[in-house]
Amino acid sequence: MACFCCGSPKLADNEITAVVTAPITMAAPIKVVITGAAGQIAYSLLYQIASGAVFGPEQPVYLHLLDIAPMMGVLEGVVMELADCALPLLAGVLPTAKPEEAFKDVAAAFLVGAMPRKEGMERKDLLSANVRIFKEQGQALDKVARKDVKILVVGNPANTNALICSKYAPSIPKENFTAMTRLDQNRAQAQLAAKLGVPVQDVKNVIIWGNHSSTQFPDAANAVVKVGGDWKPVPAVVNDDDYLKTTFVTTVQKRGAAVIAARKLSSALSAAKAAADHMRDWFQGTGDRWVSMGVVSDGSYGTPREVVFSFPCTVSNGKWKIVEGLTISDFARQMLDNTGKELAEEKQDAMDVCKD
Ligand code: NAI
């Protein structure tokens, strides 16, 4: 554990409490792990966590930073920069390449690190490489994390990675494993706000159903927009069903590819913001807004059970709940079935890898 007060590179866990710089009126620090900590999403995410944007302005954090051994030099630079931010809520940092060290006693886990897709790699090869990583990380979480740890999987294929992680961590409730579709939700919300010429916060309850992949279904059927002080249905205000079923859906589905084409790198700033949004809402609640979260499906809305499927959710007291009773049109049914089918196939492929 690198201590910011004395510069000692390694402190035992029982010593670290002595270097907490947060005022004594603050809560006890919680341990938070970020995997892929030397990567580009983590680079934007770490500041948000350490500055209080996720767990609140009164909650100190110890950051556990996991990456692979060859990245330890880069990670050292990240640790230096965190120290140089002089953040009052940052109680300490543990850079490590060992999952069991990284996951020890954590209350929140951002699983960002994953094997990137390399040229010529088939989807199945990527899945296979990542299933192995998330199996190992599930086993480590099971062994050493807090049993109430809240886990957000960002690394792709995020939904199936979350499922595998949960499978190998049977002592942690399934409800504690989620996959990130919040970036897709934020993209969808921003597209609708731009279309309607309103501030982004004046659009809510747009839903991402299914897989964080090109089969996802961005659904504006239940979204509402504030017009003249009142919330009105988005479909009625947009008054262009064709746009909502075609351009809107494909723009959101292909937004990640558009960012890569422009930036030559995948979304990182917006992915980090979405990860922070997801975890903040899970810890602090959603109020009167729905949020999309990949969660282990209970078969709601006729979706396949036991896959990690993105649903509209509300959160209170740290527990998420799927929004019930929405009407599913024939068009939506087709879209839900299509993305559900992909998830069921991914699950089967992942299970085959686990047998090896
Ligand atoms: P990056 O390549 O910049 O960083 C990934 C980091 O993970 C690297 O430092 C790498 O060394 C590390 N890593 C690899 N294997 C690891 C392991 N076994 N344990 C710990 N760390 C490991 O990638 P970036 O841009 O930060 O993206 C990370 C992941 O997030 C990718 O899988 C990407 O596809 C995914 N992603 C997901 C989004 C979503 O909406 N769910 C949106 C954007 C990206």
The reply to whether 356 falls in a domain is: no
- The DSSP 8-state label assigned to residue 318 in this structure reads T
Tokens in use for 58? 């009164």
Q: Report, in angstroms and rounded to the nearest whole number, the Rg of the chain calculated over CA atoms.
A: 20
Number of domains into which the chain is organized: 2
- Ligand 1 atom nearest residue 267's Cα: 43
How far does residue 152's CA lie from ligand 1's centre (Å)?
13
Mutate to test the pocket of ligand 1, among 65, 75, 76, 112 (most ligand atoms within 8 A of CB): 112
126, 154, 179 - which closes a domain: 179
Instruction: DSSP for 121-142, please give it.
Output: --HHHHHHHHHHHHHHHHHHHH
Sign of CA dihedral 238, 239, 243, 249: positive
| 95: Cα within 13 Å, side-chain hemisphere | 24
Q: Could you tell me if 70 and 201 lie in one domain?
A: no
| Residues 200 and 336 both lie in one domain | yes
108 Cβ below 6 A of ligand 1: no
Ligand 1 pocket member 112 (CB < 6 A): yes
Q: Indicate whether 159 and 230 sit together in one domain.
A: no
Amino acid symbol at 86: A
Q: Are residues 227 and 188 in the same domain?
A: yes
Which domain covers residue 191, as residue numbers?
A: 182-347
Give which of 37, 282, 319 is closest to 180, Cα–Cα. 282
Task: Give whole-number Cα distances, 61 to 17, 224, 272, 329, in Å.
Answer: 11, 36, 17, 45
Residue 36 alpha carbon, nearest atom of ligand 1: 7
**One domain, residues 202 and 164:** no
Q: Output the six-digit token pair for 236.
A: 């009625």
Same domain for 154 and 41, yes or no, is: yes
Tokens 């950051």 appear where?
63
Judged on CB neighbours under 10 Å (0-12, 13-18, 19+), 302 is: exposed
67 alpha carbon to ligand 1 midpoint, in Å?
10
Is residue 53 assigned to a domain? yes
Q: For residue 124, what pLDDT is reported?
A: 80
User: Does 205 fall in a domain?
Assistant: yes
In whole angstroms, give the CA distance from residue 356 to residue 353.
5
Q: Catalytic: which of 104, 182, 212, 278?
A: 212
Question: Is 7 contained in some domain?
Answer: no
Establish if 314 belongs to a structural domain. yes
Contact 343, 308 (CB under 8 A): yes
Task: pLDDT tens for the chain, 356 residues: list them.
Answer: 444 433 444 444 433 333 445 555 679 999 999 999 999 999 999 999 999 999 999 999 999 999 999 999 999 999 999 999 999 999 999 999 999 999 999 999 999 999 877 777 777 888 999 999 999 999 999 999 999 999 999 999 999 999 999 999 999 999 999 999 999 999 999 999 999 999 999 999 999 999 999 999 999 999 999 999 999 999 999 999 999 999 999 999 999 999 999 999 999 999 999 999 999 999 999 999 999 999 999 999 999 999 999 999 999 999 999 999 999 999 999 999 999 999 999 999 999 988 87
Supply φ then ψ for residue 10, to 5 degrees. Answer: -135, 120
Residue where a domain stops, chosen among 164, 179, 194 = 179
Please say whether the beta carbons of 190 and 286 come within 8 A.
Answer: no
Q: What's the pLDDT at 4?
A: 45
pLDDT at 21: 53
In the numeric block, which tokens belong to residue 211?
A: 């897989």
Specify if 269 maps to a domain.
Answer: yes
Atom of ligand 1 nearest to the CA of 156: 32
Ligand 1 neighbour 267 (Cβ under 6 A): yes
Answer with the one of 179, 198, 224 that is the final residue of a domain.
Answer: 179
Q: How many helices (H) and strands (E) does the chain have?
A: 13, 14
Question: Are the C-beta atoms of 191 and 248 separated by less than 8 Å?
Answer: yes
DSSP code string of 51-85: TTTTT-TT--EEEEEE--GGGHHHHHHHHHHHHHT
Question: What is the β-pairing status of strands 177-180 and 291-296?
Answer: antiparallel
| CB 115 near ligand 1, within 6 Å | yes
Strand, helix or coil at 278?
helix
Is residue 213 located within the same domain as residue 173? no
Domain of 305, CATH number, reads 3.90.110.10
Residue 16 lies in a domain: no
Shared domain for 296 and 195, answered yes or no, is yes
Kindly state whether residues 304 and 205 are assigned to the same domain. Answer: yes
Q: Is 268 in the pocket of ligand 1 (CB under 6 A)?
A: yes
Structural contact between residues 309 and 340, judged by C-beta atoms closer than 8 angstroms: yes
Catalytic site includes residue 64 = no
Residues 194 and 342 grouped into a single domain:
yes
Query: Is 350 close to ligand 1, i.e. is its CB under 6 Å away?
Result: no
Q: Is 131 exposed, middle or buried (0-12, 13-18, 19+ CB in 10 A)?
A: buried
Confirm whether 13 is domain-assigned. no
Angle made by CA atoms 144, 150, 156, in degrees to the nearest 5: 95
Q: Do 80 and 193 share a domain, yes or no? A: no
Same domain, 239 and 330: yes
CATH of the domain at 102: 3.40.50.720
pLDDT of residue 122: 74
130 touches ligand 1 (CB under 6 Å): no
Token pair of 35 as six digits: 């995997």
Pocket test residue of 186, 266, 292 for ligand 1, highest count of atoms within 8 A of CB: 266
Question: How far is the centre of ligand 1, averaged over its atoms, from the C-alpha of 133 (Å)?
Answer: 12
Quote the pTM value: 0.93
